[in-house]
Amino acid sequence: MTYDLVIGDRGYSSWSLRGWLLFDAFGLPVRSHSARLYTDELATVLKDYFPARTAPTMRTPDGAVVPETIAIAEELATRHPDAGLWPSDPHARATARVLAAEMHAGFTALRSHCPMNLRVSYTDCQPPEEVLKDLARLETLWSWARETTRSTAPWLCGAYSAADAFFAPVASRIATYNLPVGAQAMLYVNAHLAHPSFRRWRAMGMVDGADQEFYRRDYPRRDWPGPVPLPAKAAPCDDTVNTACPYSGKPVTHALDLFGRRFGFCNAFCRDKTLADAEAWPKFMALYHS
């Protein structure tokens, strides 16, 4: 009972990040179909997902096509009521839906000036007044959500919910562009950067195709402010501790070195996503600690 999900470039497609988190963060099985932005790939892939025109688009195991992240979240919550996409408490659930709806429809100045780019981080992007207003609104919403739901978790409405998945791309923008937010908001951003599903998506985004020129900015750069990856490096595929890929079980053809030990993978993407952030991948870490 695996879902299909059409996504854009992982490093840049904020909407696709939201859609994918609605599966990975809640343990729902999904098969991703990636299409490079600003090419005809997306339109070609979506020919099999009528009437969708955008990424992400979901197809359910029974064949229903569901574009748009709001619709995807609601459909998954209906089909998987125990997965926890929305809070179980009615008041917290209502709050989470308010948050997701405003994020889905708003913050256009922030989206425009600071498009999502998970591959870099800048020291300053000189945010104009309209972007600062969007940031202030975000902080108002986040504080209100915690207060009204009495959340003591890092997340807005208690346990991680679809509302948090909707704000993950905003958290990444604050990290990428070093946007000015208060200490409480920054704690929320850091929780996103450390979330296992977010780390997996970013690791794939770091190696998912060439850089997209549209997203390049000439601001001074800094290191990514999230968790520092382990110092893995590519290596010849011999003398590996494993003969089968930890993800697919297929014979190894590519390898990395981590602290003097070589680990094999079935293709370059499996290796490279692990190089980008080894600790994001439980199956690899289980192999590493074995």
Average pLDDT, the chain: 97
> Model confidence over 96-127: pLDDT tens digits?
999 999 999 999 999 999 999 999 999 999 99
pLDDT tens digit string along 266-290?
Answer: 999 999 999 999 999 999 999 999 9
For the chain, what are the domain ranges?
Answer: 3-79, 90-201, 233-289
What mean pLDDT is predicted for residues 167-192?
98
HSE (CB half, 13 Å, CA atoms) of 50? 2
Mean pLDDT, range 230-258, rounded to an integer = 97
Burial of 167 (0-12, 13-18, 19+ CB in 10 A): buried
Cα 242 from Cα 180, distance rounded (Å): 46
Mean pLDDT of the region 2-18? 98
The set of long-range contacts for 265-268, using a CB threshold of 8 Å and a minimum separation of 24, is none
Domain spanning 90-201: CATH 3.30.420: no
Q: Taking 90 as the threshold, does the pLDDT of residue 195 lie above it? A: yes
- Fold type of domain 3-79: Glutaredoxin (3.40.30)
H or E element, residue 6: strand 3-7
Size (the chain), residues: 290
| φ, ψ for residue 34, nearest 5 deg | -95, 140
Task: Give percent above pLDDT 70 in the chain.
Answer: 100
**In this predicted structure, what is the pLDDT of residue 33?**
98
The model's confidence at residue 29, banded by pLDDT at 50, 70 and 90, is very high
Q: What is the mean pLDDT of residues 163-186?
A: 98
Q: Within 13 A of 233's CA, how many CA atoms are on the CB side? A: 4
Q: What is the pLDDT of residues 44-94, one digit of tens each?
A: 999 999 999 999 999 999 999 999 999 999 999 999 999 999 999 999 999
pTM: 0.97
What backbone phi and psi angles, to 5 degrees, belong to 216? -70, 135
Q: How confident is the model at residue 1 (pLDDT cuts 50, 70, 90)?
A: confident
